[in-house]
């Protein structure tokens, strides 16, 4: 009789520990899901919908300058500004690719965390590996966070450079066009 009591007590203790770990794992996954939502909420920017029109405007300005600038020498300050303008324009594509990586990564990670949460809740799969699965997913969320931070820095740099350079370079291109039309 004592043997049955100890066996029953051992089974009860083992299952209750497994349930405690399960709750801990589910909380960790919940925290990772919240972190993903935080990352996702930092991405939207109303200016991104205008990015294609910004790209077209910058390309038109650059083309206007190439077609109408006919100087033997150029002011060094103007040359630096035009060079910075060209670099700013070329940064649009990498910035948008980075945005797509972050957005797609978040979408994929959400699905993975949802499946892992369901597996742990139902007790499916290799239970002894749940902790390593969570560590792996934590690393992926950390990478997404870093990629998102890089994207946000690139976006801030782009829009500050655009605000600084576009008006004066656009005005310069318009004056070149007017000079050419007068001649």
For the chain, the structural domain boundaries read 25-182
Confidence at residue 166, expressed as pLDDT on a 0 to 100 scale:
93
Q: How far apart are CA 113 and CA 137, in angstroms?
A: 8
Contact 148, 39 (CB under 8 A): yes
Confidence at residue 69, expressed as pLDDT on a 0 to 100 scale:
79
Confidence at residue 2, expressed as pLDDT on a 0 to 100 scale:
62
Q: Cα dist. 150→45, 108, 146, 153, 165 in Å?
A: 15, 19, 6, 5, 22
Half-sphere exposure at residue 164, Cβ-oriented, CA atoms within 13 angstroms: 12
Q: Which parts of the chain sit beneath pLDDT 70? A: 1-20, 46, 72-73
């Amino acid at each position: 009789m004592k043997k049955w009591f100890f066996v029953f007590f051992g089974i009860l203790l083992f299952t209750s520990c497994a349930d405690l770990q399960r709750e801990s794992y589910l909380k960790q996954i919940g925290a990772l899901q919240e972190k993903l939502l935080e990352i996702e909420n930092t991405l939207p920017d109303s200016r991104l919908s205008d990015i294609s029109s910004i790209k077209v405007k910058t390309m038109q300005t650059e083309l206007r300058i190439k077609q109408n600038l006919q100087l033997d020498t150029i002011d060094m300050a103007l040359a630096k500004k035009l060079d910075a303008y060209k670099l700013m324009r070329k940064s649009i594509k990498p910035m948008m690719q980075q945005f797509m990586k972050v957005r797609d990564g978040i979408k994929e990670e959400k699905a993975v965390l949802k499946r892992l949460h369901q597996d742990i809740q139902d007790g499916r799969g290799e239970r002894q590996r749940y902790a390593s699965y969570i560590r792996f997913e934590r690393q992926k969320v950390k990478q997404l966070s870093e990629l998102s931070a890089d994207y946000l820095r690139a976006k801030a740099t782009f829009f500050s450079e655009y605000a600084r350079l576009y008006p004066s370079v656009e005005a310069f291109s318009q004056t070149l066009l007017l000079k050419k039309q007068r001649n």
